[in-house]
Amino acid sequence: MAATACSPVLAQTGAPGAAVYRCPGPPVLYTDALSAQEAKDKGCRIIEGTPITVIQGRTPAAPRSSNAPPSANTAARPADSRIDPEAQRARDSDSRRILEGELRRAEEQLAELKREYNNGEPERLGNERNYQKYLDRTAELKSGVARKESDVAAIKRELAKLPP
């Protein structure tokens, strides 16, 4: 019996006492189906001692397309496990309140960064006698402004998803 593997996975020997060979090359081949001369010609080494076992790996699942029908485990829940509409409204309002607070903080931070960035010409600090330090800080401020703008946009998208 022969087995092929890409990683050090081993094959169960067919007959007790039969010689099992490990042949080089990708993929590494573990087999007992070779004669001693064939194994020598291919550069295989004999493996003695411990019994050899095959461990089968799982095949990766194919990704589901967005048009695919939902599987049984993603189907609608039974009516008895649904959330009470009042409880859901309370959760939604809590989520809205939290997101609005985050949006307010993010907009304040964005305004502060824009003030400091000063349209690409921030005030030079005392420790920035070296012009490169000033340029580095300006680049950091610019990327910080861009990051905060994307944060604000993301929070606004999340708020738009919530029911009114």
Please give the average per-residue pLDDT across 13-21, as a whole number.
63
List the 20-23 sheet strands across, edge first.
Answer: 2-4, 29-31, 20-23, 45-47
- Give tens-digit pLDDT for 28-47: 777 778 888 888 888 888 88
Q: Are 13 and 52 in contact (CB under 8 A)?
A: yes
Q: Are 106 and 151 in contact (CB under 8 A)?
A: yes
Q: How far apart are CA 154 and CA 161, in angstroms?
A: 11
Q: What is the predicted pLDDT for the residue at 67?
A: 61
Q: How far apart are CA 137 and CA 144, in angstroms?
A: 10
Burial of 115 (0-12, 13-18, 19+ CB in 10 A): exposed
Q: Going along 15-77, which residue ranges are E strands?
A: 20-23, 29-31, 45-47
Q: What is the predicted pLDDT for the residue at 152?
A: 96
Query: ω before 8 within 30° of 0 (cis)?
Result: no
- Helices 131-161 and 85-117: angle between axes, nearest 10 degrees: 160
- Give tens-digit pLDDT for 119-130: 989 998 888 889
- CA quadruple 119, 124, 125, 127: dihedral sign: positive
Query: Which of 37-51, 53-67, 109-123: highest mean pLDDT?
Result: 109-123
Q: Are 20 and 32 in contact (CB under 8 A)?
A: yes
